[in-house]
Chains A and B, each alone.
Chain A
Amino acid sequence: MKLKPLGGEIWTKPFKVLLLLAVIAGIFIIRRFIFGLGAVTHLNDGYPWGMWIVYDVVTGTAIACGGYAMAILVYIFNRGKYHPLVRSALLASLFGYTLAGVSIVLDVGRYWQLHNVFMPGYYNPHSVMFEVASCIALYIFVMWVEFSPAFAEQMKREKLHNFLNKIMFIFLGLGVLLPTMHQSSLGSLIIVAGEKLSPLFQTMWIPLLFLITAILMGYSMVIVESILSSVGFKRPIESNILARLSRLIPFLLVIFLIIRFADIIIRGEIGLMFSFNLASIMFIIETILFLIPMVILFSEKNRGRSQMLFISAVLMILAGALYRFDVFIVVFNPGHGYHYFPAFQEIMITVGIIAMEIMGYLIFVKRLPVFPEVKHA
């Protein structure tokens, strides 16, 4: 299998739109640094974590689990047939995580002391945040190393390429270990909030639930991204591989739903599901969103149809994203009359960051060997 740059114009119309969104975000980011977080966000003492943490970091990195999910399949379970999807999935993850890192710098109030998280004398290994921060920071580095053979290939540095290949197993190992650790810990972050979260959501099993949904969102994103690039770059859809890949989704979903419901039932809180307050309604909506892709993808016929694949993958991502938003914002209730809905500028900064991710992706796939060569018959 040979990978090749797609080539083509970078300075396209969609690219200009993305750039405009990024520039708008840039202006608001400057405002944030001059006037403080309150000038561009609706964050408050009750809802200290909003759009940026919950979308850009908690949800964004889960969506960016494609690279991780594919690495598990290809390098750990040795399913070589999925190899054509690996590098493009990794690339999307690379930008997803890198910009999540950028969002953290925007979000923390005292960014000039952010390094204290890792400094001897300051770091606090008791904090879940310590683990999340260390693993994400290290994983961003690991992913750039995992992607580096693309640069070596493009610049025809064979020696460097061979060297990278020799040591790559270390980074592949880390590339699976680190997301396993921090994607689960992103869920553990909320355990300390205790009573602020409804017992339907607050559970000691939340790290496992977050990990499974992150892997599910990763596979779904690989499907979405693969179909979108096929359409966008006018390449044949890898429908065979995608159909096989999507078999995993309903099985993982069943495991997820069994753990989630068994835990709630064993804790004796299942009655809360029918109290029809905010927590209960969001829980029901989530469950339905998780069930639809599960039902669709159990059918082999559906798995063979790109449209069905695409719809169920999108629904799966939405379900996982809603789960995260519910836990950290919608169902999270700090009491004392606090409310939160993201401000316009806050949303636009997130939009701009997503635009930057897509721009980076577009430049890289056009100029670096990411996608497999299409063999014309």
Chain B
Amino acid sequence: MNIERRDFFKILSIGALTAAGSKSVQARDWQYTGRPPKAPALLYDSTLCIGCKACEVGCKKANGLDLDHSDLEKTFGVSNTWDCADDLDTNSWLKIKLYKNGDASVKDRETDGFAFMRSACMHCVEPDCQSVCPTSALLKDPETGIVSWDVDACCGCRYCQVACPFAIPKFEYEKAFPKIEKCFLCEHRLAEGQITGCSEACPTGATLFGEYETILAEAKRRLAVKEGDTYDYPVHTLESGVTKPRPAAKYINHVYGEKDGGGTQYIVLSAVPFSKLGLPKLPEHSSSSKSEALQHGLYQGLIAPIVLFGGLAAAAFRNVRQEEKEERRAQDEA
């Protein structure tokens, strides 16, 4: 081994040490740890929803957002009556949507029926948005499990929008200094011991707030009830003391979000197929768990890139020197 070669390996090893050392700098590292034990959660029972959109207004009040108004409303001057956003956007973090088929005569029926869907951030257990965010702006709180966004971190690359399977994060395309907006599960209200704006406003108990474990147990109790049997549906929370008895619908035997896409903290019950409600069919683990496994496999401890670099630089070193020699020989001959 000649001197240059040895120096070269010295440089390599310094590089490897620096790379290994930098691992400890990660202040915001996170891991998938499942749902936090006391995670706040929401259960949306589509069969209880009457489409009144009180939750949307409750959400906007709780978060200081302006009500939206349709062109029709504006034309007839009936503004400030109700919320009328077309879809989720940066000013509307929660939206009640309608599924409609045929003559839409019967509620909660797939053909010739209709059903409601509540669209908002699912607060995934393995959030794709958190995995892809290059500046760690989107983070799942290790205690509450709420996926929040940090205004001082985000660079606005919108990879979260590409990644989210539910199309939730919204971006202010019309602004010079844009932000990402979505439901933050009323983090500020929970801190004060209150419940989310949407579940407080919901008159039927379609949106129910509580700890994940108890909420999931409630969802499973409902699935066990026979179609048509009367069930005391709790309103706002399980402990509110307010219940509304009514006959149980013919549920699809699945709690959406228990496992879908790695699980969510906002779970859904429905009598029409979930795909009709805009909830995609997802595998048991998030897409990001796949891309992360791939990236971590390829770049574990940067070993593969460093070894490859060593080989490449050594080859380049040899070839450049050989070339120089040949050139010198050619010059000498000339």
Contact = CB atoms under 8 A, between A and B. Distances in A.
B134 A336 contact: no
Nearest to B319: A78
Contacts of B128: 192, 194
A114 interface: yes
Interface SS of chain A: helix, strand, loop or mixed? helix
B158 A124 contact: no
A48 B162 contact: yes
Contacts of B280: 195, 335
Contacts of B178: 36-37, 109-110
B131 A126 contact: yes
B28 A180 contact: no
Contacts of B317: 169
* Interface size of A as a range: 35 or more
A76 interface: yes
Contact of A191 (B167, B176, B290, B312): B290
Nearest to A134: B134
Nearest to A114: B155
Interface string A122-162: 11111111110100000000000000000000000000000
A277 interface: no
Contacts of B89: 45
A328 to B, nearest CB: 9
B37 interface: no
A121 B28 contact: yes
A168 B316 CA distance: 9
Contacts of B25: 120-121
A193 B163 contact: yes
A111 B154 CA distance: 9
Interface string A181-199: 1000100111111111000
B334 to A, nearest CB: 12
B87 interface: yes
Contacts of B22: 120
B158 A34 contact: no
B131 A192 contact: yes
A89 interface: no
B28 A168 contact: no
A80 interface: yes
Contact of A192 (B153, B162, B176): B162
Interface stretch (A171-179, A303-311, A357-365): A171-179
Nearest to B24: A120
B312 A130 contact: no
Contact of B323 (A80, A189, A192): A80
B152 A113 contact: yes
Contacts of A49: 158, 162
A120 B177 CA distance: 24
B26 interface: yes
B316 A36 contact: no
A51 B250 CA distance: 47
A125 B163 contact: no
B294 interface: yes
Interface string B67-104: 00000000000000000000111000000000000000
Interface in B269-326: 278, 280-283, 287-288, 290-292, 294-296, 299, 305, 308-310, 312-320, 322-324, 326
Nearest to B23: A125
Listed residue (B87, B162, B294, B296) with the most chain A CB atoms within 10 angstroms of its CB: B162
B136 interface: yes
Interface of B: 8, 11, 22, 25-28, 87-89, 128, 131-137, 152-159, 161-163, 165, 167, 169-179, 278, 280-283, 287-288, 290-292, 294-296, 299, 305, 308-310, 312-320, 322-324, 326
30 contacts: A33-B176, A34-B176, A35-B176, A37-B173, A38-B175, A75-B320, A78-B318, A108-B155, A110-B178, A113-B155, A113-B156, A116-B153, A117-B155, A120-B22, A121-B25, A121-B28, A125-B26, A128-B291, A128-B295, A129-B157, A131-B295, A174-B309, A180-B308, A185-B295, A191-B287, A191-B290, A191-B294, A194-B283, A195-B282, A195-B287
Given A117-B134, A168-B316, A204-B290, 4 more contacts: A80-B319, A111-B155, A177-B308, A188-B295
Across the A-B interface, give the 9 residue pairs with the lowest CB-CB distance, nearest first. A109-B156, A173-B313, A194-B287, A110-B156, A48-B158, A38-B173, A172-B316, A169-B317, A48-B161
Interface of A: 33-39, 41, 43-46, 48-49, 74-76, 78, 80, 83, 107-111, 113-114, 116-117, 119-131, 133, 165, 168-170, 172-174, 176-177, 180-181, 185, 188-196, 204, 207, 334-336, 338
